[in-house]
Amino acid sequence: MGNKWRGYLFVLPALAVYLAFAVLPALHTAYLSFFDWDGVTLGSWTGLDNYAEVFQDPGLRGSVLNALVLVVFFAFLPILMGLAMTGLLARHRRPGMAAFRLLFMLPQVVPLVAVGVTWRWLYGDDGVLNETLSGIGLGGVTRAWLGDFDWALVAVGVVGTWVLSGLCMMLFLSGVQKIDTHLYEAARLDGAGAVREFVSVTLPHLRGEIAVALTVTTVAALASFDIVYVTTGGGPGEETTVPGLLVYRLAFSDGKVGLASALGVVLSLLILVLVYVINRLSRDER
């Protein structure tokens, strides 16, 4: 018995930190979600009322839908871009690769708040995007992208695509380096072209990396906060309001800590389910 438990001793420090700073706060949040509490005065037990409101309030439901739209821009597009760039960069080693990789990795290094501010300028009335459009004779489609009811969510999504594409590419490039070069040689001997090689050799071997990328980017989309907070603050109207923003707003401005906690719990569960599905689908069926 003693021997069996000794192993846990080594885990204990990490486990203690994890319990204190991740598990307990999460449980505390779940606990708070059963209260009507303004953050200061005495709260009152309301059972599942907050959850009922999360599912009934159109504003809260709408924010979850917005987050799901963002998954397209934060997860699908970056993975496609990452795969395309990997296909272009991985086949041959050329000088200057490190510089390329650094360039595409830059968005990951810059703080998201700075990214948001920069893009707000790019999207601005006389920002680079509108100037370019006017310059090539498309003056008719210029607009304040972040203030447009139809385009604001897309505009915010594109920022996410820009940030996360580099991350996906890095993941895939490092995955490609693990692939046995003999496989490529064999494919080429069989007369495979660049596309065939990518589809038949590279892609299947990147299965694990794609699953990781999909998990990380989906979580980034559903839990997004900084980019939206800095660029649009959820506007115009509620077009770009996401759950992360509402959790913050409900808890700290509106004094509805219980409702914010309930929304946080629902959001976490949604993320867990999606991550589970992704991992299930990407598992090798053997």
Partner 1 sequence: MTDTRFQRRRRRVPTAVCTLALALLLTACTALTPGSDTGGNGPRTVPRSTAVPDEDITLRLTFADAPVMVDALIAAFRKKHPRITIEPSYTQFADYVKNIKLSMASETAPDIAQFAVGMDDIAARGDILDLAPYRDTYGWDRDFPAANLEQLSGSGEQATTGRHLYGVPAGLSMTGIYYNKELAAKAGITGPPKTLAEFERQLAAVKEAGMTPLGVGALDSGGLHLWAALVNNMMPPRDYRDWVKGADGATIKTKETLAATDKLTEWSRKGYFNESANGTGQVDSTGQFTRGDSVFLINGNWAAGQLAQAMGDKAGFFLMPGEKPSARAVSSGFSVSYAISSRTEHPEAAGAFLDFLGSPEAAKIVVANGFLPPDAGAVPTPKGVLGEVAREHKRVTADEGMNHFPDFTAPNMLDPLRAGVQKLIAGRVSPGGYLDSLQAVWKERNGK
Task: Tell the smallest beta-carbon distance from residue 229 to partner 1 (Å).
Answer: 10
25: exposed, middle or buried (Cβ count in 10 Å: 0-12, 13-18, 19+)? exposed
Terminal Cα-to-Cα distance of the chain (whole angstroms): 36
Q: Which is nearer to partner 1, 71 or 257 (CB)?
A: 257
Q: Which is nearer to partner 1, 21 or 252 (CB)?
A: 252
Q: Which is nearer to partner 1, 55 or 252 (CB)?
A: 252
Q: Which is nearer to partner 1, 24 or 199 (CB)?
A: 24
Task: Round to whole Å and give the CA distance between 236 and 117.
Answer: 17
**Which tokens sit at 229?**
């907070």
Q: Which is nearer to partner 1, 127 or 208 (CB)?
A: 127
Say if CB 149 and CB 237 are below 8 A apart: yes
Task: Tell the smallest beta-carbon distance from residue 253 to partner 1 (Å).
Answer: 6
193: exposed, middle or buried (Cβ count in 10 Å: 0-12, 13-18, 19+)? exposed
Residues that bind partner 1 (CB under 8 A): 31-32, 35, 37-45, 123-125, 143-149, 152, 232-238, 249-250, 252-257
Task: Tell the smallest beta-carbon distance from residue 236 to partner 1 (Å).
Answer: 4
267: exposed, middle or buried (Cβ count in 10 Å: 0-12, 13-18, 19+)? buried
Task: Tell the smallest beta-carbon distance from residue 147 to partner 1 (Å).
Answer: 2
Task: Tell the smallest beta-carbon distance from residue 81 to partner 1 (Å).
Answer: 26
Amino acid code (one letter) for 263: L
